[in-house]
Amino acid sequence: MKKKSLKLTAKLTSFCLILLTLFLVVSLTKLAMADFTVEERILTNSVCPGSTILIQEKITTDTASTFTVTLSGSASRFSVAVPSGFWLEPDEEKTVYIYVTPSSRTVPGSYTLRVNIESQGISKVREYEIIVENCHSTSLTVEPTFQRICACETKQLKLTIKNQGNYLENYQLKVRSPIASWVNLTSETVSLHPGSEKEITAYVSVPCNARGDYEINFEAVGTSEYARASAKASVSVVQCFDYSLSPEKTSYSLCDGEKLNTSIKIKNLGTRDNTYSLMVDAPRWVSIEQKKVSVKKNEEKTLSLRVEPPYLTEGTFTAKITALSDYGKVMKTVEIEFKIERCHGIILTVEKEKDKICNGFSKNYSLTVRNIGKFKDTFDITLEAPEWVSLSLTHLTLNATEERTLTLTASPPTNAREGKNEIIVKVKDPLTKAESEARIELETVSIENCYKPVIETENTTVIIAKDTTTILPLTITNEGIEKATYEISLSGTGIGFCQINPAALSLKPEESEIIYLYIAPPVEIEEGNYFVNIIAKAVEGNAVASKTIIISVTKPTEFEKIEKIEKPEVTGKAVEEKKKISWFAKLISFILRLFRPRTEKINITNVTNITNITEISETKPINRAPVLIKEIPNITIKKNETFTIDLALYFKDPDNDKLTFVVIKPLHIEVKTKGSKVTLIPEKGFEGETKTRFYAFDGKEIASSNPVKITVKS
């Protein structure tokens, strides 16, 4: 059975080999018979840069096959075939399109394009010559090609540019010549469609001093480098209508109001008689004698030029005299410079431009008049001001550079209107019109505001237990404009247990001082609200200010007995530092203690006469006062801005106690305190200087800073 299977397998294998052999023979036979045809179609092989020509290749096959198309040769870089690969069934055909598009940068000339079509190992090649033409032809002509031109004359040349190419061209026209600066074109750029042309005029303006033979080269340069053309013309410059125009001098210096006569000469250097028109471009005070003059050839004439600068004229001026010949239209220009100096002048200066004056007062102000001219002059002095203002002089004669002082007196009556008054003083020379003025802004102030006091305090209400005492500081400021002496008095229902000190003080304008209201309601007084009016009245006038303080008297506070604590003796530096604490610092310390939270209960019936003494139960350590570790510098604040200072950088407590910082409010400055940081806020619009001190309090002792100046400025 096994032998039969092997024989059957061998027979099947032989049969398969026979079938495979027959299939290969048939395939090779068909392959040998495979073929295709190519039919080409091309209308032209010439193309312009930027244009496209089309080549068509129609392929037909009698067997099914795959085809590929490739391009080679120098023209292949600007050619493309579509499709480049495809499949054809028997008797099916396909057209391949080959686009040839040289770029605008392609150099004109002959190029080769090979088209290779391949299928089943069979390759057919078509080769084409591609001609890239120059399609940017341009022509440029000039007429006439030779021209004789007189010096100082302008003549024309006609340029004709034509686009002989196939594209729209934009041309740039250029002039290349030693005399290119003489040539002006009516247009330097031209756009032309294919086949169109345009005429352009070239004006050749020859300078008056030129002569000789010259060549002018004109170029038309298109967008493409192949769109170029050039043309050439020759000119010969000859002297025909020349003349000279010369002033006597080219520069003069003179005073305002001075008169000057000078001359200008004109000489005919031409070949014939000529007439010249003259024009003057100058200030109106410069004029010429004649506007037109005729001069024979080789002759000369002199013209008069008159210069009369008026008074107050100053500076450097130029007169431009231009001559134009009738024949040849030759134009020449000369310039003459005139330096005019102010030889007549006056300066008026005032000692003070702004001031304030109290009604009923009299003040003198100095004004200085100086003759800054070169000659002796007489001046009128006028005044524009209220009737209570007068001048010491109304006329004044001064030599050159001399100066004199005038006195202006202001004496406003007691009932004068309060406000600003503008005072104008003018000094004028009636002949030369030289003038100067000075202005004074003088503000009149009523008697009341002249010595105006202002009373300020941070607290207008005081709550105090009867049979105790406290002190309220108040600031009095002289907001007037004169030094004043103020008498301080009290009125109201609380004057029986209040005192004010000091009772009188003198203050300069903007100066401040602190006064103290001592409050000590006795035990027998009724509880309730009382008021005290603090009144500051100027001795010199009726200026008065007052501040009302409400005092709320409450029932007595229960206290424990005060223990007398024997403090250990302290020597050395700590004692010295304590001695330095001022009476004002002690006062601040006292005030702070009044409002410090109490941690002990004391029973006292008379605070001011304490005699209860007990033995020492324990010895408490001495408290060391805070110290100023470095001086606080003066402070400058920009107007309408704020300034914050950290006092922890300047004060230190030797016992590391927590410090409370205090500042007495400076004049015109608002103060805000947060911890150790103090913010100073100037009043809106305030500019000026004020002073203050800063204090550090540890609950028992106080330390003061150095005086600190605060400046507010723009």
pLDDT of residue 537: 94
Over residues 303-313, the mean pLDDT reads: 92
Q: Would the pLDDT of 587 be above 60?
A: no
Mean pLDDT in residue range 66-84: 93
Q: What is the pLDDT of residue 248?
A: 93
Assigned CATH topology for domain 243-341: Immunoglobulin-like (2.60.40)
At 16 the pLDDT is 56
Spell out the residues 6+ positions from residue 500 whose beta carbon is closer than 8 angstroms to its own: 488, 489, 490, 515, 516, 517, 518, 534
Fold for domain 36-132?
Immunoglobulin-like (2.60.40)
Mean pLDDT (whole number) for 223-244: 86
- In the chain, the amino acid numbered 264 is I
AA letter at 282: A
Handedness of CA 588, 594, 598, 604 (dihedral sign): positive
What is the mean predicted confidence (pLDDT) over 340-366? Answer: 92
Among 682, 683, 664, which Cα is nearest to 673's? Answer: 664
Decide if domain 449-554 falls under CATH 2.60.40.10.
Answer: yes
Q: Output the pLDDT for position 673.
A: 85
Q: Where are the domains of the chain?
A: 36-132, 138-238, 243-341, 346-444, 449-554, 627-712
Q: How confident is the model at residue 94 (pLDDT cuts 50, 70, 90)?
A: very high
Structural tokens at position 97 = 């399109």
Q: How confident is the model at residue 31 (pLDDT cuts 50, 70, 90)?
A: very low
Ramachandran category for residue 216: left, alpha or beta (phi over 0 → left; psi -120 to 50 → alpha): beta
pLDDT score at 558: 56
- How far, CA to CA in Å, does 365 sit from each of 353, 389, 614? 10, 11, 74
Question: For the chain, first and last CA: distance in Å?
Answer: 128
Q: Tell me the per-residue pLDDT of 255-279, one tens digit each, with 9 for 90 and over.
A: 988 899 999 999 998 878 999 999 9
Cα angle 525, 531, 535 (rounded to 5 degrees) comes to 130
Confidence of residue 8 (pLDDT cuts 50, 70, 90): low
Lowest mean pLDDT among 5-9, 108-112, 192-196, 409-413: 5-9
Cα–Cα distances (Å) from 540 to 122, 361, 483, 507, in that order, read 132, 12, 9, 12
Q: What is the mean pLDDT of residues 156-161?
A: 94
> How far apart (Å, rounded) are the C-alpha atoms in residues 303 and 248?
10
| Nearest Cα residue to 72 out of 107, 42, 113 | 113
**Nearest of 548, 536, 589 to residue 461 by alpha carbon:** 548
Which amino acid type is present at position 618?
E
The mean-pLDDT minimum among 17-31, 139-153, 165-179, 366-380 falls in 17-31
3-state helix, strand, coil in the chain (%, to 5): 10, 50, 40
Q: State the average pLDDT over residues 414-423.
A: 93
Distance, CA of 240 to CA of 326 (rounded, Å) = 12
DSSP structural state of residue 344: S
- The single-letter DSSP state of residue 623 is P
> How is residue 558 written in tokens?
């229960």
Sort strands 197-205 and 228-238 into parallel, antiparallel or unpaired.
unpaired
Q: Which of 41-45, 214-218, 241-245 has the highest mean pLDDT?
A: 214-218
- Please identify which residue in the block is written with the tokens 């001011």: 608
Give mean pLDDT, residues 4-33.
56
pLDDT for res 633: 94
What is the band of 106 on the pLDDT scale with cuts at 50, 70, 90? confident
Find out whether 705 and 632 touch, Cβ atoms under 8 Å: yes
Model pTM above 0.85: no
Strand spans (E) along 392-527: 395-398, 403-410, 419-428, 435-445, 453-456, 461-465, 470-478, 484-491, 498-501, 504-507, 512-519
| pLDDT of 401 higher than 60 | yes
**Are the beta carbons of 126 and 40 closer than 8 angstroms?**
yes
Q: Which residues contact 206 (CB under 8 A, 6 or more apart)?
A: 149, 150, 151, 152, 153, 154, 182, 235, 237
Domain 138-238 is classified in which CATH homologous superfamily?
Immunoglobulins (2.60.40.10)
| Confidence band for 28, pLDDT divided at 50, 70 and 90 | very low
Specify the pLDDT at position 478. 93
Taking 50 as the threshold, does the pLDDT of residue 614 lie above it?
no
pLDDT at 566 over 90: no
Report the pLDDT value the prediction gives residue 577, as an integer from 0 to 100: 36
pLDDT of 449 higher than 80: yes
DSSP 3-state assignment of 586?
A: helix
Which residue reads 């010491």 in tokens? Answer: 392
Burial category of 100 from C-beta neighbours within 10 Å (exposed 0-12, middle 13-18, buried 19 and up): buried
**Mean of the pLDDT values across residues 596-618?**
33
Contact indicator for 348, 367 with CB cutoff of 8 Å: yes
User: What is the residue-averaged pLDDT of the chain?
Assistant: 84
Q: How many of the other CB atoms lie within 10 Å of CB of 360?
A: 16
- pLDDT tens across 623-677, in order? 888 999 999 999 999 988 999 999 999 999 998 888 888 887 788 888 888 889 9
* Helices first, then strands: H and E counts in the chain: 4, 56
Residue pLDDT, tens place only, 273-299: 999 999 999 999 999 988 999 999 899
- Residue 561 near residue 604, CB atoms below 8 Å: yes
The pLDDT value given to residue 623 = 80
Which residue type does 582 have?
S
The better pLDDT of the pair 413, 620 is held by 413
Q: Of the given ranges (56-65, 515-524, 576-585), which has the lowest mean pLDDT?
A: 576-585
- Residue 600: its pLDDT value, please? 33
Helix or strand run (H / E) with residue 267:
strand 260-268
pLDDT class of 698 with cuts at 50, 70, 90: confident
- Domain boundaries 627-712, corresponding CATH code: 2.60.40.10
Residues 6+ apart with CB under 8 A from 199: 158, 159, 160
Q: What percent of the chain is modeled with pLDDT above 70?
A: 86
Contact 519, 464 (CB under 8 A): yes
122 vs 614 pLDDT, higher one: 122
Domain boundaries 346-444, corresponding CATH code: 2.60.40.10
Chain centre to alpha carbon of residue 131:
64
> What tokens were used for 478?
């002289």
316-344: b (≥16 Cβ within 10 Å) or e: ebebebbbbbebbebebebebebebbbbb
CB 467, CB 607: distance < 8 Å: yes
Give which of 460, 475, 602, 674 is closest to 593, Cα–Cα: 602
pLDDT of residue 15: 64
Give strand pairing partners of 244. 267
- Please report the pLDDT score of residue 597 as a whole number: 40
What pLDDT is stored for residue 394 in this prediction? 92
Q: Where does the pLDDT of residue 613 fall: very low under 50, low under 70, confident under 90, or very high at 90 and above?
A: very low
Residue 443's pLDDT is 94
